[in-house]
A = this chain, B = another copy of it.
């Protein structure tokens, strides 16, 4: 009775353990372990008996115990902004594929662009002793990671750099991409060019804004405040921002959209607008080529970002990689029509 009371309440109707298998097969505990792990030194006859017991009982090794004993979980964590964002799909998948190639599982979570939630998630993953972390940061202070890094948790940041700590990071060249995109519009004769982007506290947003400014400055075009919308992110307000730029006292003839969600909303606004307005968007998206006109974009390779990050992560784990680096992947301008429209109005 005291015996059963001591048993912790657990959800698995007391699954069979190696001990149970051993008892049933009439062998020792360690022999079962050997069979389960394919270690040598077991006679075929013994192995058969053990295998039979395993099948009969429906035994499945408890990896929690294994992890506890061995110290490595063979799993990595991925923290991103929103699993549902089409930009992150290919990225996650790429990370997963690399993890799989290294025999690791992927645990992931969405931070919803909330720094507290990011930290909560990251620490939960650390408590589970993931071997490594791929983080698309929401916050800009990652000092909370210091004990983890010191303890040897491999970490790679993607898409945006870590804040206040020195860590590996894999980025797209947001600055260069935006500058090229805006320069492309300028080359097609535009001078009054609008920029709609996310909050400048997000690194990529800030870099893209910087690219926009650089391109304008290179062309000697002074920027009017009314041409810029920053930190506006939900569709309704992006719509309003776009409309204001198009109808203000000094209306823009072209728009540079800072990310795929903004681009999509702007496409909708422009579709309702009588005067043709040129558009270049950061991030490619499906069907961009089928719209009328096709949408010219600065494309970044999300899968490649994920792949690169995951590969670096496993090289950290191998010990091949020591010094944190910053890797910038190039972007690619894809012209489809919307960015080549001449200024109108």
Contact = CB atoms under 8 A, between A and B. Distances in A.
Interface of A: 8-13, 15, 58, 60-65, 67-73, 75, 82-86, 88-90, 92-93, 96, 100, 105-110, 123-129, 131, 146-148, 150-153, 264, 267-268, 271, 285-287, 290-292, 303, 317
A280 B90 CA distance: 27
B92 A83 contact: yes
Contact of A12 (B9, B129, B292): B129
22 contacts: A8-B70, A11-B71, A11-B72, A11-B131, A12-B152, A13-B152, A15-B151, A58-B148, A60-B123, A61-B127, A62-B68, A64-B68, A75-B128, A82-B93, A86-B89, A96-B110, A105-B125, A105-B128, A107-B108, A264-B286, A285-B286, A287-B291
Given A13-B151, A58-B150, A147-B58, A128 B64 contact: yes
> Which A-B residue pairs are the 7 nearest by beta carbons?
A10-B71, A58-B147, A84-B93, A84-B89, A64-B67, A63-B127, A83-B93
A89 B82 CA distance: 9
Given A105-B124, A127-B60, A267-B290, A8 B69 contact: yes
Contacts of A287: 264, 267, 285-287, 291
A75 B108 CA distance: 11
Contacts of A64: 64, 67-68, 73, 128-129
A293 to B, nearest CB: 11
B92 A84 contact: yes
A107 B110 contact: no
Given A147-B60, A271-B290, A290-B267, A84 B73 contact: no
- Copies of this chain, complex-wide, total 2
Contacts of A110: 93, 96
Most central of A11, A68, A291 by chain B CB within 10 Å: A11
Contacts of A65: 68
A316 B236 CA distance: 39
A8 B303 CA distance: 36
Nearest to A289: B268
A239 to B, nearest CB: 14
